[in-house]
Amino acid sequence: MKEKTLHRDDRLKKSNEISSLILYNDNFNTFDHVIKSLVEVCGHDFIQAEQCALIVHLRGSYEVKTGSKEILSAMSRSLNAKGLTSKVVET
Q: Is 4 exposed, middle or buried (0-12, 13-18, 19+ CB in 10 A)?
A: exposed
Report CA-CA distances (Å) from 81 to 10, 46, 75. Answer: 34, 21, 10
Beta-carbon neighbour count of residue 57 at 10 Å? Answer: 13
- Spell out the per-residue pLDDT of the chain, length 91, in tens: 455 555 555 554 555 689 999 999 999 999 999 999 999 999 999 999 999 999 999 999 999 999 999 999 999 999 999 999 999 999 8
